[in-house]
Amino acid sequence: MIKLAMDIDLNSHGVVAVIVKDGKFLMIKEAQKLLNGHWGPPHGVCSPEDVNEEATIIRKTKSETGLEVIPIKKITTASADTKVKTISFWLTEMPGEQNIFLDEAAASEYGWFTIEEALNLPLYPGTKKFFENIKNGKFLVIE
């Protein structure tokens, strides 16, 4: 069993890739049965081959969207809504111009949204709280 700081167990942990471009956040619409129709940034569950959260972010973002990202910093870790016990939101960088290629089994649509627009989408409860915290100035992700 791999443990991270703050007693985070990678075997029951997920990550969220926060990707910002021109002041907007990349969001994908869930296609999987559990929360079909909910929106959120690219995300996924850590797996045994992932040596750390950063590896999961890179792997899951690539598999869901086709994008190459670089994890920059962890914004927050919180209790998760589904599938896992905890989840970390990571600010990422998307180098260069890239095209999005959705894994249709994971996501049915994507879009770039401001914080206000994102908050009007059907969101996972934890994702909604994350965006509310950004809006209220608790997390700085756009400079």
Give the pTM. Answer: 0.88
From CA 68, how far away is CA 101, in angstroms rounded? 11
Q: What is the pLDDT of the chain when averaged over all its residues? A: 87
Query: Using H for helix, E for strand and C for coil, what is the string for 45-93?
Result: ECCCCCCCHHHHHHHHHHHHHCCCCEEEEEEEEEECCCCCCEEEEEEEE
- In the predicted structure, residue 6 carries a pLDDT above the cut 70: no
Q: Tell me the per-residue pLDDT of 57-111, one tens digit each, with 9 for 90 and over.
A: 999 999 999 999 999 999 998 887 777 788 899 999 999 999 999 998 888 899 9
| Mean pLDDT (whole number) for 30-58 | 87
Measured CA to CA in angstroms, residue 11 lies from 1, 29, 60, 74 at distances of 7, 25, 15, 18
Coil, helix or strand for 14?
strand
Residue 35 pLDDT class (50, 70, 90 cuts): low
3-135 placed in CATH 3.50.30.40: no
